[in-house]
Amino acid sequence: MSKVLDAEQCVLVDVEPVVAAPKAPVDKTFRRYDQDQPLLLPPDLRDWLPAEHPARMVDDLVEFGLDLAGIYASYTESRGAPPYDPRLMLKVLIYGYSNGVTSSRALERRCQDDIAFRFLTADAAPDFVAISRFRVRHGAALKALFTQSLALCGRAGLVSLGRVALDGTKVRAAASRHRAMSYDRMVRAEAELEAEVATLLADAEAVDAAEDAAYGADRRADELPAELARRDQRLAVIRAAKAALEAEHAAAARARAQEEARGRGDGDEQVAAAGAAAATGAVVPDKAQRSFTDPDARIMKTSDGSFHYCFNGQAIVDEAHQVILAGQLRQSGADCPALPDMLTELETFLRQAGIDGAPNTLLGDAGYFSAANVEAFTDTGIDPLLATGRLKHGERAAPAPRGPIPKNATVKQRMARKLRTKKAKADYARRKVIVEPVFGQLQTCQTGDQLRLRGKPKADVEWFFHLACHNFRKLFNSHQTPWAPPTPAG
């Protein structure tokens, strides 16, 4: 007899599954819901948002914390339809930019759909044209808000002026790579369009002569065929871009030649002659490009390894609360030439914001090092720590050598030796955590890596407005308001 039992023989007790009986529905009472119910009393806009909502902070900031006299002083004409109150428009822009909404059309939609925006606008809905025109018209006042943001952060105790860090980021311009042309392509396109225009003109003249012979000379002399007008406009745009490239490279060649002449000790006449000769003989590289949508933008390599039309956004950041102390928007992708100007900007913004003193230490990566940049710190009271090179992944710098510094050591050798001391290592290790998170916050929270306005002056305004909104966010997050808004009634 086999010891293997069937599966059926292994079942000791055969139990049927128990199925719970379905519950019977009950007469449930729900909360009242009637979309046709009229409101007996008008709603209070202040009841729409919780007490700690960021929109309330923006409201208090504009009402009680900012000086808007410059904006109001620009309205000198009483004629025309009443414009939107500048306080309303400024609240929309600050709250929108602080939350990554920078498009005027997107801001218009938010003013209709978003409760926070409706609270800030008192349930008004400015259209995108009004928002865009306000942003362009009051560009200088919007840029000046950065100084006010720095002053408010200083009064709130958010600025320590201990260690600060300088860095730059590539900010994409409102221009596409597909709406650009290289210099050699401009030369070929100019010749092709000139030939096409000449052919079309000859054809138009032949048609005019034939029609005059058949019908009489009664047509206007300024009429142009559509194809001729279109090609003529393209030719004018290409010629303007080509001339701008030639002027830019001529000016750069002139500046280099004059600097070299002054270094040789030449007189003023020789310096001027050398600059003129260099400008005359300047040659534009064939690969040099110019954008048709934003001629002020420049091709730069971005963090993803690709090339886009960008500006170089610079910022100096305080360590204590990551408040931005100074900024600049440059057309050059190189960081090194920006350092002397940023030191000047730092001194200017701190003075205008009413903040006394200067930072103790300024940290910068290898892109800012040069002997001239180290000398620029003379008489500033700031100790520079600028990296002299890059370390490979996992590589550690050698310890500082013992003994006195050699008298013949170069500026680079002295800085490299200084960076290998324990104190300098500890200071420089803070660079990344001071400045790089700021650019990350600008890109993720405010989309500060993409500008909406075109042209260097307008792009400069928008960059500084982004920096101001960043400082306002730091002020809001600290829950310290250096103004005294009245407590709402009730």
> Which is nearest to 249 in space by CA: 279, 216, 214?
279
C-alpha distances out from residue 247 to 238, 244, 278, 292, Å: 14, 5, 12, 16
3-state class (DSSP) for residue 264? coil
* pLDDT tens readout for residues 346-394: 999 999 999 998 999 999 999 999 999 999 998 888 999 999 887 666 6
Query: Helices 104-113 and 86-98 sit at what angle, rounded to 10 degrees?
Result: 100
Contacts of 166 (CB under 8 A, 6+ apart): 314, 315, 316, 317, 339, 342, 362, 363, 364, 368, 435
Q: Between residues 23 and 292, which one has the greater pLDDT?
A: 23
> Which is nearest to 302 in space by CA: 172, 463, 462, 453?
172
Q: Between residues 278 and 219, which one has the greater pLDDT?
A: 278
160-176+295-456: CATH number: 3.30.420
Q: Position 135: which residue type?
A: R
Alpha-carbon dihedral 162, 165, 166, 169, rounded to 10 degrees: -140
> Which is nearest to 388 in space by CA: 408, 368, 409, 361?
368
In 208-294, beta strands by DSSP E: 289-291
C-alpha distances out from residue 112 to 176, 259, 402, Å: 31, 57, 69
Residue 164 banded pLDDT, cuts 50, 70, 90: very high
- Strands 324-330, 307-318: pairing is antiparallel
Residue 91 banded pLDDT, cuts 50, 70, 90: very high
Asked if residues 472 and 59 have their Cβ atoms less than 8 Å apart, the reply is no
> Which is nearest to 440 in space by CA: 242, 169, 240, 184?
169
Element (H, E) at 189: helix 183-215
123: left (phi over 0), alpha (psi -120 to 50) or beta: left
Contacts of 288 (CB under 8 A, 6+ apart): 182, 183, 245, 249
In angstroms, the CA 455 to CA 309 distance is: 12
pTM, rounded to two decimals: 0.78
In angstroms, the CA 111 to CA 129 distance is: 13
C-alpha distances out from residue 359 to 319, 379, 424, Å: 10, 13, 15
Question: On the CB side of 19, how many CA atoms lie within 13 Å of its CA?
Answer: 3
In angstroms, the CA 3 to CA 300 distance is: 82
Residue 1 banded pLDDT, cuts 50, 70, 90: very low
Hey, how many other C-beta atoms are within 10 angstroms of the C-beta on 265? Answer: 7
pLDDT for res 221: 47
In angstroms, the CA 175 to CA 291 distance is: 7
Over range 223-247, report the average pLDDT: 64
Which of 34-48, 104-118, 304-318 has the weakest average pLDDT?
A: 34-48
Question: Is the pLDDT assigned to residue 228 strictly greater than 80?
Answer: no
Alpha-carbon dihedral 148, 151, 157, 160, rounded to 10 degrees: 120
Hey, how many other C-beta atoms are within 10 angstroms of the C-beta on 331? Answer: 15
pLDDT for res 287: 66
